[in-house]
Amino acid sequence: MTDINIKRLNASQSDFDSALEKLLAWDDSVDHQVNESVRHILHQVKTRGDAAVLEFTEKFDRLKVGSVAELEMGQDRLQKALETIPRDQRVTLEKAAERVRDYHERQNQTSWQYEDEDGTVLGQKVTPLDRAGLYVPGGKAAYPSSVLMNAIPAKVAGVGEVIMVVPTPDGVVNDMVLAAAAIAGVDRVFCVGGAQAVGALAYGTETIPAVDKIVGPGNIFVATAKREVFGTVGIDMIAGPSEILVICDGKTDPDWIAMDLFSQAEHDEQAQSILISPDAAFLDAVQASINKLLPTMERAGIIATSMADRAALIHVADLSEAAQVSNRIAPEHLELSVEDPESLVEEIRHAGAIFMGRYTAEALGDYCAGPNHVLPTSGTARFSSPLGVYDFQKRSSIIGFSAAGADRMGRVASVLARGEGLTAHARSAEYRIKGRSD
């Protein structure tokens, strides 16, 4: 296997800003093609329902069946998978599920209210979604861990019905995925993926029920489809191809860092792995580790493409500058592989998840630390948070005026409404002012 030369950037270069922008950007022409194709798929699913789902499943996942009902895995099938997977897989899935549940239970929001001195009651009522759709990726790898990460917060939130979709390319069903669905208590599972699965959940088909919100990560087709259907349904965030950014002081074993970069690169050719360090010799050492370790990787092809196209080794003056560059990137995963992560984290403002210190491999967060691994990508950590229980709950305001409160605030509303020229608003409030009946 030939060596790959990872892009080298230096934050002190005059063209650093444009080089960084180019590194983070998608190729416009690819973007355009993906948008076109996703819009076509969504339109077909919206207008032709099951028939379109069957057609696209055959085209993209090479799976031909006679009806969408055949793509549903019933509860008995999920239970069978749980009972037949190897014991160590069942035990570790259950262990991971327990830690994920424990973490997410702390996110549960509760309703609250308070009372004014005149007896007026104000509050916030928290309710779970009636029906949520979980996208579990499955094109290039199967993700039992993503089943747990999507479904457990939904269940903790109290969602009425949880519908999961997952592609099964060539009809190969992953029993660990089904077992994870059984452990997490998923209500229905359909073996459908890509934009067609997102469309089916958003618009509903004869067989797949429409949901209120679609959550979960996926490739560029899935992320683009979620963006398109937002408004018809809620979405959690844009969780696209995986990303890792490592800030290292140069004192971690370079093999560890190379493997951490590989760990996200192996997800997808479009995944992005970036290392930032003030130690130029360390960047060289990691480059050497990359070329040494790459031939030992099972997914060397995907890693090589991802690293050649989208990875970078960035030299900075010091760790503060590393934090500034990282804040501009707003990565999905940020490893602080430094002596004193506690002080460096003070300077971090935007990241989906922050992994503190040399021993905290991002991979532990992917499986069993407890926090969610569905995280905002492509810089959206500037305004989005990890998937959580709060994504499956919504809030309603509660407003209950006493007669005294209606009198007091009716006078305020009346003046404001008349100022806006909205007489019906004003009179509706005025009817409730004491002694006023006109």
Ligand X SMILES: NC(=O)c1ccc[n+]([C@@H]2O[C@H](COP(=O)([O-])OP(=O)(O)OC[C@H]3O[C@@H](n4cnc5c(N)ncnc54)[C@H](O)[C@@H]3O)[C@@H](O)[C@H]2O)c1
Catalytic residues: 332-333
Q: Residue 278: name its binding partner from ligand HSO, Zn ion, ligand X, none (Cβ under 5 to 8 Å by kind).
A: none
For ligand HSO, the binding residue among 224, 242, 252, 414 (CB under 6 A) is 242
Q: How far is the CB of 175 from ligand HSO (least distance, A)?
A: 16
Q: How far is the CB of 51 from ligand HSO (least distance, A)?
A: 33
Show binding-site residues: 135, 196, 219, 242, 264, 267, 333, 366, 420, 425
Cβ-based nearer residue to Zn ion, 260 or 366: 366
Q: How far is the CB of 164 from ligand HSO (least distance, A)?
A: 15
CA distance 336 to 58: 44
Cβ-based nearer residue to ligand X, 180 or 417: 180
Q: Residue 37: name its binding partner from ligand X, ligand HSO, Zn ion, none (Cβ under 5 to 8 Å by kind).
A: ligand X
Can you say whether the dihedral through the CA atoms of 49, 53, 55, 59 is positive or negative? positive
Show binding-site residues for Zn(2+): 264, 267, 366, 425
Task: Map residues 146-185 to x or -, x wherever contact with ligand HSO holds by CB under 6 A.
Answer: x---------------------------------------
> Which residues, at least 6 apart from 222, have a Cβ–Cβ distance to it below 8 Å?
135, 137, 193, 194, 195, 197, 198, 216, 240
Residue in the shown chain whose Cβ atom is closest to Zn ion: 366
CA distance 236 to 376: 9
Q: How far is the CB of 169 from ligand HSO (least distance, A)?
A: 17
Rama region for 105: left / alpha / beta (φ>0; ψ in -120 to 50; rest): alpha
Cβ-based nearer residue to ligand HSO, 332 or 430: 332
183 near 82, Cβ under 8 Å? Answer: yes
> Which residues, at least 6 apart from 344, have a Cβ–Cβ distance to it below 8 Å?
247, 319, 323, 336, 338
Cβ-based nearer residue to ligand HSO, 249 or 366: 366
Q: 53-112: which residues touch Zn ion (CB under 5 A)?
A: none
Token pair recorded at residue 137: 């990726």
Which residues bind to ligand X, rule: CB under 6 A? 37, 60-61, 137-141, 143, 146, 167, 193-195, 217-219, 221-222, 239, 241-242, 267-268, 271, 332, 373-375, 377
CA distance 260 to 240: 19
Cβ-based nearer residue to ligand X, 221 or 256: 221
Q: Residue 137: name its binding partner from Zn ion, ligand X, ligand HSO, none (Cβ under 5 to 8 Å by kind).
A: ligand X
Q: How far is the CB of 225 from ligand X (least distance, A)?
A: 9
- Is 373 near ligand HSO (CB under 6 A)? yes
CA distance 148 to 131: 17
Q: How far is the CB of 151 from ligand X (least distance, A)?
A: 14
For ligand HSO, the binding residue among 366, 393, 401, 414 (CB under 6 A) is 366
Cβ-based nearer residue to Zn ion, 129 or 151: 151
Tell me the β-bridge partners of 400. Answer: 121
Rg (CA), the chain: 25
- Is 366 near Zn ion (CB under 5 A)? yes
Token pair recorded at residue 303: 């890693």
Query: Chain-centre distance of CA 105, in angstroms?
Result: 18
CA distance 244 to 265: 8
Q: How far is the CB of 84 from ligand X (least distance, A)?
A: 24
Cβ-based nearer residue to ligand X, 175 or 268: 268
- Is 145 near ligand HSO (CB under 6 A)? yes
- Is 270 near ligand HSO (CB under 6 A)? no
- Is 391 near ligand HSO (CB under 6 A)? no
- Is 236 near ligand HSO (CB under 6 A)? no
Chain residues in the site for ligand HSO (CB under 6 A): 143, 145-146, 242, 264, 332, 366, 373
Chain residues in the site for Zn ion (CB under 5 A): 366
